[in-house]
Amino acid sequence: MEDKEKQVKKITPKEEDYSQWYLDIIENADLADNSPVRGCMVIKPSGYAIWENIQGILDKEFKKIGIKNAYFPIFIPQSFFQREAEHIKGFAKECAVVTHHRLVADSKGKLIPGGKLSEPLVVRPTSETIIYSMYSKWIRSFRDLPVKLNQWANVVRWELRTRPFLRTAEFLWQEGHTAHATKKEADEMTFEILNIYEKFFKNYLAIPVVKGKKSEQEKFAGAVYTITIEAMMQDGKALQLATSHMLGQNFSKPFKVRFTDKDGKLKYVWQTSWGLSTRVIGALIMVHSDNKGLILPPKIAPFQVVIVPIWDKKISRQELIEKASQIKAKLRQAKISVCLDEQEGRPGEKFYQWERKGVPLRIEIGIKDIKGKRITLARRDTGEKKSVPLRDFVKEVKATLNDIQENLYQKAVNYSSQLTHEVSNYSQLKSVFENKRAGFALGFWCGDKKCELKVKKDTLATIRCVLFNKKKNKDIGKCVVCQKPAEKKVIFAKAY
Ligand SMILES: [Zn+2]
């Protein structure tokens, strides 16, 4: 046991090497492993349990607004991609293509692909084309609309520069696809979903986010417009967390998704698609964790509480486990997810082990606690310890979990706002990105692609989003790059 503990890799401090810190956190919290196929990732039980919680929460929210789940095949005929020109341009560079359907032995007994397919099949990088080919069969009349489907699936994008959870050749996600009779309905759907995502990030993942529209340069291939949710990681870089696309009639025309309207006329539907992936787990790690390991917000943690009995010669193992089990049962009754660590070992080592795994709250129970009818609570986020009477410990645990959730959100709000800089000219913008921990630069942009590309070339920062304008009277400023009058307020940042 002890040898195994010693083999655990030390966590590189994030101030020293953020990127290595991130990988060390994943390894120490046992979330994922490398796969034999470069760029792919094995998600281990501790990591997958987080994904299951994410699925559970979002699935409920989707169903509340009438979205149903379905499943479409992973293989898409290559010709489907040809139908929407922008779409194929966006995905061609990273498509895995199946050309054969069996393995055969050559004269030397070596296995080679055989049975060439008449048409190559693309392993889905996203499912617009296959889903809309089905919608064209299913949708006939205005009575069939709206269609609101979601699928939980894997997709493959053959990325060369990969990083666990953030960018992998295969990843898990949900993709929603809706079809509507009017443009207005599709516009509303695009925003309704973004609001669901936003609430999810704020209320469950404790991640403050920025919402806005993608520039033409950054929008989804084939969309009329893309709206996005972005968040700042602790190193000041941006991570795109979820996107929602208004597809207009860009797909319904080539895929002939038509309906007979109330006026008897044949019309093309208006469509949206939207998605969120296992990348969100990468965000959770990067927003909240520290140099001791993973920190998970209670509302998404697979285990909210871990009970660690403190072994002592003065009490029998059986008695101690019994007391700890009673505590566990009471927490379970209160719908708190809890794990009891029954293995023997030194408390210090165990505390360290559970800290690395990010369990929000630890309960310690030993002979002293039992005698005094108390237990000790130790918070993962602040390290604070508190002794509470056994009488109403459930109430205390609940209150502490809420407090941890709130504190993690507040901490993220604090560093995000500290690292958000208003800029009004180009030298200010450039100086923001001279810092290693640059953060977000907030300024006006004229809308010209040339200015956007100049920023990217000079600083590596991109326009993460054009902020939504809530005010009646639009703010007018000057483009930070060319100083021409500008209406769009945007966030520039380096991004994952
Ligand atoms: Zn400009």
- One DSSP character per residue, 121-151 reads EEEPSS-HHHHHHHHHHH--BGGG--EEEEE
**Of the candidates 355, 358, 396, the residue with the CA atom closest to the CA atom of residue 375:** 396
Measured in Å, residue 484 CA sits from the centre of ligand 1 at 6
Question: Is the pLDDT reported for residue 3 higher than 60?
Answer: no
Residues lining ion ligand 1 (Cβ < 5 A) are: 446, 448, 451, 479, 481-482
Question: Is the pLDDT reported for residue 7 higher than 70?
Answer: no
Pairwise CA distance, residues 56 & 61, whole Å: 9
Tell me: do 188 and 249 sit in the same domain.
Answer: yes
Contact partners, residue 403, CB within 8 Å, separation at least 6: none
Peptide bond into 389 cis (omega under 30): no
Pairwise CA distance, residues 387 & 365, whole Å: 10
Q: What percentage of the chain exceeds 90 in pLDDT?
A: 89
Contact partners, residue 481, CB within 8 Å, separation at least 6: 426, 429, 445, 446, 451, 454, 455
Domain final residue, candidates 230, 259, 288: 288
* Residue at 315 is within a domain: yes
Measured in Å, residue 89 CA sits from the centre of ligand 1 at 27
Tell me: do 283 and 309 sit in the same domain.
Answer: no
Mutual orientation of helices 45-64 and 183-203 as an angle, nearest 10°?
A: 140
* Residue at 10 is within a domain: no
Pairwise CA distance, residues 367 & 41, whole Å: 44
Judge residue 398's burial from the number of C-beta atoms within 10 Å of its C-beta, 0-12 exposed, 13-18 middle, 19 or more buried.
middle
Measured in Å, residue 433 CA sits from the centre of ligand 1 at 18
The half-sphere exposure of 171 on its side-chain side, counting CA atoms within 13 A, is 26
* Residue at 112 is within a domain: yes
pLDDT in tens, 286-343: 999 999 999 999 999 999 999 999 988 888 889 999 999 999 999 999 999 999 999 9
Tell me: do 274 and 347 sit in the same domain.
Answer: no
Tell me: do 206 and 127 sit in the same domain.
Answer: yes
pLDDT in tens, 405-425: 999 999 999 999 999 999 999
**β-strand pairing of 305-309 with 361-365:** parallel
Pairwise CA distance, residues 13 & 185, whole Å: 49
pLDDT in tens, 195-253: 999 999 999 999 999 999 999 999 999 999 999 999 999 999 999 999 999 999 999 99
Residue 2 pLDDT grade (very low, low, confident, very high; cuts 50, 70, 90): very low
Tokens standing for 64? 């509340």
Measured in Å, residue 166 CA sits from the centre of ligand 1 at 31
Residue 86 pLDDT grade (very low, low, confident, very high; cuts 50, 70, 90): confident
* Residue at 415 is within a domain: no
Tell me: do 274 and 330 sit in the same domain.
Answer: no
Tell me: do 282 and 318 sit in the same domain.
Answer: no
* Residue at 91 is within a domain: yes
pLDDT in tens, 12-39: 999 999 999 999 999 999 999 999 998 9
Measured in Å, residue 208 CA sits from the centre of ligand 1 at 29
Tokens standing for 304? 């909210």
Tokens standing for 203? 């209320």
Tokens standing for 380? 């993962």
Tell me: do 270 and 309 sit in the same domain.
Answer: no
Measured in Å, residue 378 CA sits from the centre of ligand 1 at 52
Measured in Å, residue 483 CA sits from the centre of ligand 1 at 6
**Domain CATH number, residue 440:** 3.30.110.30
Measured in Å, residue 458 CA sits from the centre of ligand 1 at 14
Tell me: do 466 and 396 sit in the same domain.
Answer: no
> How many domains are there within the chain?
3
Measured in Å, residue 486 CA sits from the centre of ligand 1 at 7
Tokens standing for 22? 């991130």
The CB density around residue 219, as the number of other CB atoms within 10 Å, is 20
**β-strand pairing of 374-379 with 75-77:** unpaired
Measured in Å, residue 91 CA sits from the centre of ligand 1 at 29
Domain final residue, candidates 335, 366, 401: 401
Pairwise CA distance, residues 65 & 61, whole Å: 7
pLDDT of residue 469: 80
* Residue at 333 is within a domain: yes
By three-state DSSP, how is residue 247 classified? strand
By three-state DSSP, how is residue 152 classified? strand
Measured in Å, residue 181 CA sits from the centre of ligand 1 at 37
Question: Is the pLDDT reported for residue 5 higher than 80?
Answer: no
Judge residue 434's burial from the number of C-beta atoms within 10 Å of its C-beta, 0-12 exposed, 13-18 middle, 19 or more buried.
exposed
**Domain CATH number, residue 357:** 3.40.50.800
Tell me: do 140 and 213 sit in the same domain.
Answer: yes
Pairwise CA distance, residues 244 & 200, whole Å: 15
pLDDT of residue 473: 67
* Residue at 294 is within a domain: no
Residue 62 pLDDT grade (very low, low, confident, very high; cuts 50, 70, 90): very high
Q: What is the mean pLDDT of the chain?
A: 95
pTM, entire model:
0.95
Measured in Å, residue 212 CA sits from the centre of ligand 1 at 19
* Residue at 218 is within a domain: yes
pLDDT in tens, 349-394: 999 999 999 999 999 999 888 889 999 999 999 999 999 999 989 9
Tell me: do 126 and 216 sit in the same domain.
Answer: yes
pLDDT of residue 79: 94
Measured in Å, residue 495 CA sits from the centre of ligand 1 at 21
Tell me: do 185 and 248 sit in the same domain.
Answer: yes
Tokens standing for 482? 């060319």
Question: Is the pLDDT reported for residue 345 higher than 80?
Answer: yes
pLDDT in tens, 149-168: 999 999 999 988 889 999 99
Tell me: do 327 and 468 sit in the same domain.
Answer: no
What does the CA dihedral 209, 212, 214, 215 come to, rounded to 10 degrees?
-130
Domain final residue, candidates 401, 431, 455: 401
Cα 273 to Cα 151, 249, 295, distances in angstroms? 11, 12, 32
The CB density around residue 328, as the number of other CB atoms within 10 Å, is 18
Which residue matches tokens 């979330």?
A: 31
Q: What is the mean pLDDT of residues 425-438?
A: 96
Tokens standing for 180? 């509507």
Measured in Å, residue 481 CA sits from the centre of ligand 1 at 5
Residue 1 pLDDT grade (very low, low, confident, very high; cuts 50, 70, 90): very low
Tokens standing for 141? 């009349």
Measured in Å, residue 445 CA sits from the centre of ligand 1 at 5
Contact partners, residue 104, CB within 8 Å, separation at least 6: 111, 112, 113, 114, 115
**Domain CATH number, residue 62:** 3.30.930.10
pLDDT of residue 85: 84
The parent domain of residue 454 ranges over 420-493
